[in-house]
Amino acid sequence: MAERVQGPPRDRFGPRVERPDGVDFPYYAGEPIGLGARQWVLAWLSVAVGFAALVLLPQPDSIAALLPRALFVVLPLAVLAVLARPYWSALFRPVRGRDVLTMVGFGVLNVVVSSVLGLLVAAVFGANANPATDGIEGAGEVLAFYLGTGIQLVGEELFTVIPFLALLYFLTRRGAVSRKTAIAVAWLATAVWFGAAHLPTYDWNFAQCFIVIGGARLVLTLAWIRTKNLWVCSGAHILNDWVLFTPSVLAAAALG
């Protein structure tokens, strides 16, 4: 059962990092409802199960990939709905004009950071291509690819944000760590977690996954830290990946 608890002191970063609107992250400190240790373990396990569905279910083409990509999102949200009941949607806040600008700003920043880090890592350690656009042929496949990757990228934000909140809970509620320190630790730890999940995609290139993918993850998680709105970091992530994937999609279409 969800529990109502009094949160730790809400020491905040300055307005360049967190918006000065007084809004805090959901769940970890009892707002709008608190989750206990066992519930956080279940929530974290749910994103791992969703990830297992994404990587283990067959995906012969972009249309077939829609199911595992949808499960990647639905499974953790379903578990969160059981744990938090009517407050499951607290991860999502209304999207206003400044949120759209924030999406675009972080999306552009992430393209720049990813490109710079990618060039540096490729020069020193080598790099492997993302096979996501391989085999895309025809309008139906292209449409399914963009729809499916959009869904998957929302799942990737859940894959990061739920562990981020779990770490905030354990560090502040069980470890007596300050809110700022807990945010910094969760920010870095979830970047490592996210980078590790990409190791099979990039043929176990550790430098590429932990420096390039992990570095990009740090940028995207900053969008979450700033807005506490999963729509914003998801939007930035979708913009980033679609910009990077589109040249390959167009090239495949031209060759087809």
Give residue-wise pLDDT tens across range 43-102: 999 999 999 999 999 999 999 999 999 999 999 999 999 999 999 999 999 999 999 999
The residue-averaged pLDDT of 33-50 equals 97
Would you state the structure tokens that stand for residue 19, as one six-digit string? Answer: 């918006």
Would you say residue 112 lies in a domain? yes
Would you say residue 54 lies in a domain? yes
Would you state the structure tokens that stand for residue 69, as one six-digit string? Answer: 């990509």
Would you say residue 7 lies in a domain? no
Q: What is the DSSP letter of 57?
A: S
Residue 61's region, left for phi above 0, alpha for psi from -120 to 50, else beta, is beta
Per the structure, the count of domains in the chain is 1
Would you say residue 113 lies in a domain? yes
Would you say residue 138 lies in a domain? yes
- Please say whether the beta carbons of 157 and 233 come within 8 A: yes
Measured CA to CA, the distance from residue 36 to residue 49 in angstroms comes to: 20
Full residue range of the structural domain in which residue 81 is found:
37-255
Q: Which of 149, 153, 154 is nearest to 65 (CA)?
A: 149
Would you say residue 8 lies in a domain? no
End-to-end CA gap in the chain: 54
- Please say whether the beta carbons of 230 and 161 come within 8 A: yes
Confidence band (pLDDT; 50, 70, 90) for 132? Answer: confident
Would you say residue 4 lies in a domain? no
Beta strands in 205-254 (DSSP E): none
Would you say residue 59 lies in a domain? yes
pTM (two decimals): 0.94
Confidence band (pLDDT; 50, 70, 90) for 38? Answer: very high
